[in-house]
Amino acid sequence: MDEKISEKRAAYLAEDYSRGFIRHCQFEPDVIRKGYFQSKVTIKEHHRQQDGFIHAGVMATMADHTAGYSAFTIVSEDYQILTIEFKVNFLRPAYGDSLICRSRVIREGSQIIISESEVFDSREGEETLVAKAIVTLMAVQKDKLEL
Amino acid sequence: MDEKISEKRAAYLAEDYSRGFIRHCQFEPDVIRKGYFQSKVTIKEHHRQQDGFIHAGVMATMADHTAGYSAFTIVSEDYQILTIEFKVNFLRPAYGDSLICRSRVIREGSQIIISESEVFDSREGEETLVAKAIVTLMAVQKDKLEL
Amino acid sequence: MDEKISEKRAAYLAEDYSRGFIRHCQFEPDVIRKGYFQSKVTIKEHHRQQDGFIHAGVMATMADHTAGYSAFTIVSEDYQILTIEFKVNFLRPAYGDSLICRSRVIREGSQIIISESEVFDSREGEETLVAKAIVTLMAVQKDKLEL
Amino acid sequence: MDEKISEKRAAYLAEDYSRGFIRHCQFEPDVIRKGYFQSKVTIKEHHRQQDGFIHAGVMATMADHTAGYSAFTIVSEDYQILTIEFKVNFLRPAYGDSLICRSRVIREGSQIIISESEVFDSREGEETLVAKAIVTLMAVQKDKLEL
C-alpha cells in the first residue's frame, strides 16, 4: 500500500477525528498514514472505573473509532465509514497515565474493510499492549447512507 | 435462576454502577434482578458523532458495563467482575433520545460468566434493537485480582 | 417477517445445504422458514476430540453454515451469501449424541445480514444450549462475487 | 518468551494434535515452539463448499484448534486447554491447494490465555492471508475439568 495520503486529507481527518463522543472522551489523533491511524489520550479520573483501572469502554471506543479512521485513509472523500461490528480482548489491566491506539487496515475492500487495533498503556515511558480488537467496517457513499 | 437478590445488594450495585467513566457517560442503572441488569441513558450531543448518530462507543461501553453488572448479581459480595472480551454488532443506526440496555447472564459459571446485552434506541416511545453484544466475564475474588 | 418461503425454494435450500465440507461433517437440514434455519447432526467418533467432548470446530462450523442458510431464506435466488466474520462462545461442554442448531436472522439488510445461531446438545431427549454465535453475512449477486 | 520446549513435549503435542474431528479434517501439525503452533492441511474436495471455495468452517476449526495447541506449549503437562470463545474474520476468498495456520500466544496468563491465529491460503507457492482469529482459551488442571 502506498504510504502517503495528501496533507490536506490528513489534516481533514485529524480535524474530523475528535467530535461529539470522541471529544467528550478527549481522544486525539496522533499519526496518520495510508492504511494506518494512531490516536492517544491522557488518562484522567473520568476514564477510570471504581478500582482505578482504565475502563474497558474507553479502550473499546478508542479501538473502534481509530479503526474507523484507518479505513477513512484508504477511501475517497465522498465515502463514509460505518462500524458493522467489532470484537475486543482485554489482555492486561490498564492503569497508566496515557493510552495509545494503533489501527491498521488488514483487508482493503471496496465495501468491506477490516482493521485491527492495538491499544497500549503507557506507564513511565514504557508501553504495554492492553487490548486488541478486530473491527469490521463498511464504506458507504455519503449520499447512500443505508447499509 | 431465582429472580431475587437482596434489596441491600441491589442498592449497592445501583450505587456502584455509575462511577468514573460510566458517570462521565451518564449511564444510569434501571432494573436489577438476579442474572439481569438494565441501564439507560438520556442522549445528549456528546453521545453522538459528527453526523448525529449515537456513537458506536457509547453502545459498546453500555453493553460491556451493563453485562458486567448482570454478572455482579449472581456472585457473592467478595467477588470482582472483569471483562475478558466482548463482541458487538451494530444492527441499525441509533439516533433516538435515549438508549436502554438489557443484559442477561447466559452462562453462570463459578469463574467464567457469559452475558448477552441488547441495546435499544428509544424514539418517540418506540424501542428499536440497535446493538447486540456477547460479553465474556471473569469472577475473581477481590483479594486475588489477577487473571 | 412473513414466515413462509415457497416449497420449491425450501427444497432447493435443503438440497443445497449439505455439500462439500458440510456433507463431510454430516450436517443435515431440519426446519426451514423465512429468516430461520435449523440443522442437526448425529454425533460420531469423528466429531469428538481426544477427551470425548464434541469438538468446538464442529459447533462453530454448524453455527456458521446454518446462519448462512438462514440468510439464504430472505434473499432472492440470484444472491449468494458470504460469511464476513463470526464469533462463537462455548457455554457448556457438549458430549451428547446429537446436536441441533437454530439460526435466526436478527438484522435483515439488503447487503449486510446478521444472524444468531444457538447450538443445542441433545442428551437422552433433553436439550442443553452449548454454544452461541453471532454471524455477519453479506448478500452478493451471483454474477458479482467480489466483496 | 523462551522459544524452546522439550523435544518430548513437542513430540507429544504433535501426536496429540490430530485426533477425532481434526483427523477427520486431515489437519497436521507442522512447526512447534513455545507460544507458537503451526499447522497445515492439503485441500481436498471435502474441504470446499458448493462453489469451490474452501469452507469457512475449515478455516475456523483450524484457527481454533491450532490456537489451542499454541496454548498447550506454554502450560505444564497436567493442564488441559479449553476454548472459551473465538472470533474469526474471513479476509479474502480461499481456493488454493493447501492452508497453513500460524497461531501465537498474545496473552500468557496462568488461567486465561489469548492466542491469535492467521490462516494462509497457498496457491502455486504463494501465501495469502485469508482468515484471522482471536481465541480466548482457559488452562484447567486435568483433574478439575470444570470451567
D1 is a domain residue: no
User: Which of the residues in chain C have pLDDT under 70?
Assistant: 1-2, 145-147
Question: Most C CBs within 10 Å: which of A105, A111, A114, as the mutation test of the C interface?
Answer: A111
A96 is a domain residue: yes
Q: Which domain holds residue A101?
A: 7-144
Contact yes or no for D112 and B138 at CB 8 A: yes
B1 is a domain residue: no
pLDDT at C1: 52
Average pLDDT for A57-71: 98
According to DSSP, the β-strands at A126-141 and A112-123 are antiparallel
pLDDT at B147: 46
**What CATH number is given to the structural domain containing D21?**
3.10.129.10
Report the alpha-carbon distance of residue C65 to residue C88 in Å, rounded: 13
Contact yes or no for B90 and A85 at CB 8 A: yes
D25 is a domain residue: yes
The string of pLDDT tens digits covering residues D34-59 is 999 999 999 999 999 978 899 999 99
Give contacts of C46 with chain D, Cβ < 8 Å.
20-21, 23-24
Amino acid at A83: T
Size of interface B-D (CB pairs under 8 A): 27
Closest CA to A115 of A10, A37, A40: A37
Average pLDDT for D47-72: 96
Query: Is B147 in a helix, a strand, or coil?
Result: coil
Instruction: Say if residues D129 and D89 touch (Cβ distance below 8 Å).
Output: no
pLDDT at A51: 82
Task: Please give the angle made by the CA atoms of B20, B52 and B29, to the nearest 5 degrees.
Answer: 35
Contact yes or no for C92 and B107 at CB 8 A: yes
Average pLDDT for D97-111: 97
The string of pLDDT tens digits covering residues B51-76 is 889 999 999 999 999 999 999 999 99
pLDDT at C144: 76
Instruction: Please check the confidence at residue D118 and state whether its pLDDT lies above 90.
Output: yes
pLDDT at C147: 46
Average pLDDT for A60-80: 97
Contacts with B44 (C-beta within 8 Å, 6 or more apart), sequence order? B26
- The 3 state secondary structure assigned to A99-142 is EEEEEEEEEECCCEEEEEEEEEEEECCEEEEEEEEEEEEEEEEH
What is the average pLDDT score of chain D?
94
Q: Which strand ranges, in their side-by-side order, compose the sheet holding B112-123?
A: A28-33, A36-42, A98-108, A112-123, A126-141, A79-90, B79-90, B126-141, B112-123, B98-108, B36-42, B28-33
A104 is a domain residue: yes
A2 is a domain residue: no
C2 is a domain residue: no
According to DSSP, the β-strands at B98-108 and C79-90 are unpaired
- DSSP letters of C82-125? EEEEEEEEE-S---SSEEEEEEEEEEE-SSEEEEEEEEEEEETT
pLDDT at D147: 46
* Chain B residue whose CA is closest to C118: B106
Residue A7 main-chain phi, psi, to 5 deg: -60, -35
Average pLDDT for B5-12: 95
pLDDT at C123: 87
Q: Which strand ranges, in their side-by-side order, compose the sheet holding D79-90?
A: C28-33, C36-42, C98-108, C112-123, C126-141, C79-90, D79-90, D126-141, D112-123, D98-108, D36-42, D28-33
Per the structure, the count of domains in chain A is 1
pLDDT band at A1 (very low <50, low <70, confident <90, very high): low
Contact yes or no for A114 and D89 at CB 8 A: yes
Average pLDDT for A42-48: 96
**Any idea which residue has 474441504 for its cell?**
D47
The string of pLDDT tens digits covering residues B117-129 is 999 999 888 999 9
ipTM over 0.90: yes
Least-confidence region, from A17-26, A138-147, D75-84, D121-130: A138-147
